[in-house]
Every structure is written in C-alpha cells, then in structure tokens.
Structure 1
Amino acid sequence: MSSSGSSAKSSPATGFMIDLYWTVIPVMLVHYYASHPLAEYNWWRSRVVMLLTWVWSLRLTHNYFRREKWQWGAREDWRFTDMKGQYGKHWWWVSFFAVYASQQVFLIGVCLPLYVIHSVDGPLNIWDFVAIFVCISGIAIAFFADTQLHEFVTRNEKLKELGKPVVANLDRGLWHYSRHPNYFGEQLWWWGLVVFAWNLGNGWTFVGSLINSMCLAYVTKLVEDRMLKQAYRAEAYRLYQKTTSVWIPWFKSSAIAEKDKDT
C-alpha cells in the first residue's frame, strides 16, 4: 500500500519485506493460475490481465525505490515503528499476526479475481473493456499522484537544507482534488480486477477488495492524525480536510473555505 507520510529510521526488516512482498506476489499468482494444468480461460483476457499486473507491479516497485532514495530496505514504515513502540517486547509475536499473517489474507483476498479469470472461460465483452479502463485509470492516477508527492517532498528537503521555510501542505495537481489520490488510484486498480471477475459470474470476489479498502480507510486516518500532530502544517491541513475530498477526486468546497477564512 502507498503512503502519504515519510518513514522513520529504524530496523529495516518489517517495512522492507512487506512493501516489496506486495509488488511480487500478485505477479507470481497470476502466472501460477495461468500455468496450472486445470486452468480454463480466455487467452486474450488472461494475457491482458497479466500485462496489466506487470505494469501495476513495476509502478509500485519503482515508487518504492524512488521513495527510499534507491536503497534496498533502508527504512521501516513509520506505522510499523509506532506499533513497535506501542507493543514493546511483545512486538516480535504481535508483528507476526498483525503484519505478516494479515498480509497473506489481504493478498489472497484482493487476488481472488486473478484466480477467477483463469478458471472461467468466456468470450470477451464490453465489461472486459470497462475493467481494463478502470485498471489502467487506477495505475495512471496512482503513478501521477505518487510522482507529485515525491516532487513535493524533494522540494521541501531542498528548502530545509537551504534553511528556508518548507511548504506546509501539498495542494497541487491531483492533490488539489483529493487528499489521498495515490490511495484512490491503488484501490481503483483492485476494484477493476473485481469487474473482470464479476463479468465472469463471480462477483463475490469483491469481498477481498472491500476488506482492503476498509483497512486503507484506517490507514488514511492514521496518516491524517500524523499530519495534524506536526505543528508547522496542522492549521493548513485542517483547512485542507474541510475543503478537499478524502479519496475520490472532486472539486474544492469553496463555500467552507470562505467561511473558515471569515471566522
């Protein structure tokens, strides 16, 4: 999953293993399902989904290494660092269930459509193209949102090195219309896969993406709470919350912004 915040310096093991785990397993699963002796599927649908999965994986992998300054597992996700401090000496076993075991469930759940695509044969129809459009849109939105976030963080780091005041909040590009466009794009990708499965008569696979979205909603709250704890950006971020959609890109709520300025 993508993050709006920076990572804290700590033991690299947890953040390193889990972040890259997500970029690899879906690719491995889609090829496993396609090569299984009992697999039954439409060749074109299978190849399109394989290609999309590779593109999605490369985007996520590129963003991980770019965010970590092209280092391999150098930093740990700040959320895991906070949890480590919370659980103390019990973290070694809590992390097994809260981080590693739960990730297996999430990954199998969100990848259920990949299984359906390779277990049901059916001709291509308009819904396949809708699914392709949704998946590509999700990948593109996540890429541009993460690129804009990376450029924002890089500019602030340079300003800090020069002893100049940093910009409190990113409110340009896709971030002008959504507080978490990178999260929105990532979720759009997974729900696009659900459309493929639904079209093949297995709409129940939405459960995996729904649970993933619910977990990301909790992560969103953690990220926003973290923003509000940072004194230099708290006021700007409160206004940002009042005027900008959480996930789905939408127009600014200018009426609320004007009201807030007048009070």
Structure 2
Amino acid sequence: MASSSSNNTHGKNLRNAVVALLAPLPSIFFYLSFLRHYSAAAEAGSLSPLWTWCYHHPLLLANTLFFLNVNVLFWLIGVLQSSHWMIDLYWTMIPLLLIHYFSTHPLAQCNSWRSRLVILLTWVWSIRLTHSYFRREKWQWGAREDWRFSDMHQQYGQKWWWISFFAVYLAQQVFLMGICLPLYVVHSKDKQLNIWDLLASLVCLTGVTIAYFADTQLHNFVTRNERLKKLGQDLVPNLDEGLWQYSRHPNYFGEQLWWWGLVIFAWNLGCGWCFVGALVNSLCLAYVTILVEERMLKQQYRAEAYKNYRKRTSVWIPWFKTSLTGKEKET
C-alpha cells in the first residue's frame, strides 16, 4: 500500500511538472513568431495587420497574452484538476517572463546597462522566490493550492468553479501587471545611469535578502515543529527568533521592499505614477496579513503566545520589541 501511494505521488508530481512547463508555451511561441515575422518584414518592408498591432501595442499585447494564457488556460487547468496551484508557482516566474518580453520587443528603447541591471535583479528575485516555493512544498509540483483559495472554495461551494476565474486569475493580472509596470518603463525610457539607480538596486537587494533569511528561518521553524509532532512532543507555539523577533512578517516586508525598489527605477525615469501598482499590492498584503494572523489565533496551542507576540512586535517594519504593561500581561 505504501509503495502504491508513493507511486501515485510520484506520478502526480511528474504530471504536474509537465503541465506547468508546457502551460506558458502558447504565449512564448506566439511572441517568438511575432519577432520572426517582424524581422522578415523589416527586410521586405511589409507587415500583416496582426503583427503591426503587436508592434505598436507592447503593453496591450502583454495583457492580452496574460489574459488568454494565464487567466483562461491556467483557469481551465485548475478547474480540471480541482486545484488552482499553478498561479502560485507562476507568480515567481511571470515578472521574469515579462521583463524579457519588454527588453526584446522591437519598440524597446532603454539604457542597456540599466536594462541588464534590472534583468539581473529580477533573476535574483525570481530564483529566491521559486526556491522558497519549492522548499515550502517539499520539492513537489502542485501538492496543494494556496490556503486562501481552499477557504474560498469552501465558502462559495459549487459556484467556485466560475468565481475562481475572477478571484484567482483576473485579480492576479491586475496585481502582477500593476507591480511590473516599472519593468516596462525601464525598457521604454533612455536615460543615463545615476545615483537613483544605485539606490533602487540597494533597496531591491535589501528586500530580497530580508525575504530570503525570513523565509529560511520560517522554514526551519516549521520543519522543527513537524519533527516534534512526529515524536509526539509539544510544538513550539511561536517563531520569535532571528528577524521574527523584530517583525511579525519580515518576509512580507522584504517582498514589499523589492517592489518599491522597482518603483524608484520608474520614478527616476519620470514615471512616478507606477507607485500605484506597488501601493495596491501593499494594501492587498495588509489584508492578507490580517487573514494570516486570524488563522494563527484560531490554533489553540499557539493562540496565547501569539497574542503576546502581537502586542510586543512590529507588524511589518522591523523594530525593537515593546515592553508589556502590567494590564497587558494580565490579559
């Protein structure tokens, strides 16, 4: 029985890996076809209406491909599998795909050094987050979907199959395309590198570094509790060591620094309005923070410890612990 279960797990893991690797190919092949036709048309002096539209509307084309390939195709796969796990994985990959799209589009005009710098930073961010995702999922593809989607599935019941299109996918397009606008701006403005590019890079790298160490400390904490649970011993109720003694969500803080660092790149190029995407994402994460903490307080073994931890520790921005008053200690 154990061997059969293991084979089923390996089979599911392999199938999900194949599905995930094949899923973005329609957009990739379409874009490569556009580049090939554009290159040929540049020599011949003619371009079909479809490819002309793709040439003149790079941002609209990116959103169209996102809608068809991610919203529609990923959603159909999620409905068939009864699990919308793939969007969580591709959150780590879509910005990387977008920046290579923006940098190679024929209309791109940019400072080549700034382009290389931001591409490199995006690769570092993506590798960090992808590693964190697979480490958390025990190196499996599609073992589970985000708990928020599972909760919404229970909430909406039989209606979830169509509500999920809007709640999981269309919403993700708004967030992802919004926060990735600086990647587009970097490849649509040509300006010499300056001190603000250095500052933006430092903010981005600081965010990635904080998020990496915070996620690693959280992973070690969860792994330790899993080991204690198998041994039948009491679980450690709360993580309040390392970065977590200064912030209740240092991983979220690091992630937000990354996106606001990209905003500095855009602001330096005269497109400060790009802050809207990062602001909406931060507000969304603030709501997620509330949901996460409510989830913590529902777990009896950790509720009391987490209440005290919440009273003493900063929510996002790392800061020194505050002392509990006598009244707070009693409550």
Match of 2:258 in 1: 189
Measure the CA separation in 2 of the matches of 1:41 and 1:167. Answer: 51
In structure 2, stretches of 5+ residues that fail to align are 1-80
Aligned with 2:102 (options 33, 57, 60): 33
Match of 1:236 in 2: 305
1:215 aligns with 2:284: yes
Match of 1:5 in 2: none
Match of 2:219 in 1: 150
In structure 1, stretches of 5+ residues that fail to align are 1-10
Q: Does the 8 Å CA contact 1:169/1:236 hold for their aligned counterparts?
A: yes
Aligned with 2:199 (options 111, 127, 130): 130
Cα deviation, residue 260, structure 1:
2.6
Match of 2:329 in 1: 261
Q: Which is greater in Rg?
A: 2
Flag as ranges the 4+ runs of structure 1 deviating above 2 A: 256-263
1:43 aligns with 2:117: no
Query: Higher relative contact order at CA 8 Å, sep ≥6: structure 1 or structure 2?
Result: 1
1:13 aligns with 2:83: yes
Cα deviation, residue 12, structure 1:
6.7
Match of 1:7 in 2: none
CA RMSD of aligned residues (A): 1.2
Aligned with 2:249 (options 174, 177, 180): 180
Measure the CA separation in 1 of the matches of 2:306 and 2:92. Answer: 31
Count how many residue pairs are aligned between Structure 1 and Structure 2: 251
Secondary structure in structure 1 of the residue aligned to 2:284:
helix
Cα deviation, residue 18, structure 1:
1.1
Cα deviation, residue 238, structure 1:
0.6
Measure the CA separation in 2 of the matches of 1:32 and 1:128. Answer: 21
Q: Does the 8 Å CA contact 1:109/1:209 hold for their aligned counterparts?
A: yes
Q: Does the 8 Å CA contact 1:13/1:76 hold for their aligned counterparts?
A: yes
Measure the CA separation in 2 of the matches of 1:73 and 1:67. Answer: 12
Q: Which amino acid is the alignment partner of residue 260 of structure 1?
A: E
Q: Does the 8 Å CA contact 1:145/1:174 hold for their aligned counterparts?
A: yes
Measure the CA separation in 2 of the matches of 1:198 and 1:100. Answer: 28
Measure the CA separation in 2 of the matches of 1:17 and 1:101. Answer: 14
Q: Give the structure-1-normalised TM-score.
A: 0.93
Match of 2:143 in 1: 74
Identical positions, percent: 72
Q: Give the structure-2-normalised TM-score.
A: 0.74
Cα deviation, residue 258, structure 1:
5.7
Query: 1:208-249 CA distances to partner (integer Å, 9 max, x unpaired)?
Result: 010001110110000000000111111110111100000000
